Amino acid sequence: MSINIDELLKKAVKLGASDVHVKVGNAPIIRINGELSFMPGEKRLSSEDSMNMAYTVMSAPQKEAFKKRNDLDIAYSVPGLGRFRCNAFVQRGTIGMVFRIIPMKILDTDQLHLPPIVRTISLEPRGLILVTGTTGSGKTTTLAAMVDYINSNRTDHVMTIEDPIEFLHRDKRSIVNQREVGTDTESFSRALRAAMRQDPDVILVGEMRDFETIQTALIAAETGHLVLSTLHTV
């Protein structure tokens, strides 16, 4: 009997998990409060199970990209449940996956217990703001709260460049356009160069992975735009 990925994710959300790991030979594994454990009541996964689950969450172009590269970042939505960031990869000849559960509602700066300075710098007209931290420390969630605060309090054009798009922003006082690397644009650097010609006030760059992206982000910040991004630290 094949495993229904939507039902599996629904169960993980109900259990309060932050992440779901899919590995051949094991039952699905969930992370709750930082600790990994097997998901109760689930069977060990076969290679066919993991392949079917992976191909269920991928579009046709994403499947082709995955077959070429052996790893892929995508966002997956389950109606009525929420969005998930998924990284699929090949290990020992089989497909593994990790799903990060993205909250349906964007938490604001107060709900995240962020200091007042976060709201203050979100209203800066120009410059570069970097949110740094280790994996899982809340960088993306913090940036989403900052964009939501800008969206609620400024009349700006906000461009986001993400891989993949995690939190979805609806226009409030600002206009928010969101571009996904691999789907809407070729790369962070290409989208960032294009953004300079799209009348932006605020540009969010999900990650600054290479020299060209960093250089273009600095130019954008120096020429009158507010640039938000993240860096991994240890």
Contacts of residue 67, defined as CB under 8 A and 6 or more positions apart, other chains included, come to: none
Report residue 2's pLDDT band, with 50, 70 and 90 as the boundaries.
confident
The two tokens of residue 114 are 């962020």
pTM of the model: 0.85
> Could you give all domains of the chain from N- to C-terminal order, each with its CATH number?
5-102 (3.30.450.90), 116-232 (3.40.50.300)
Q: Residue 208 has what pLDDT?
A: 86
Residue 103's pLDDT is 84
When pLDDT is cut at 50, 70 and 90, the band that residue 1 belongs to is low
Does residue 159 or residue 133 have the better pLDDT?
A: 159
- Average confidence (pLDDT) over 160-169: 94
Q: What is the pLDDT of residues 8-49, one digit of tens each?
A: 999 999 999 999 999 999 999 999 999 999 999 999 999 999
Whether 122 contacts 149, CB under 8 Å: yes
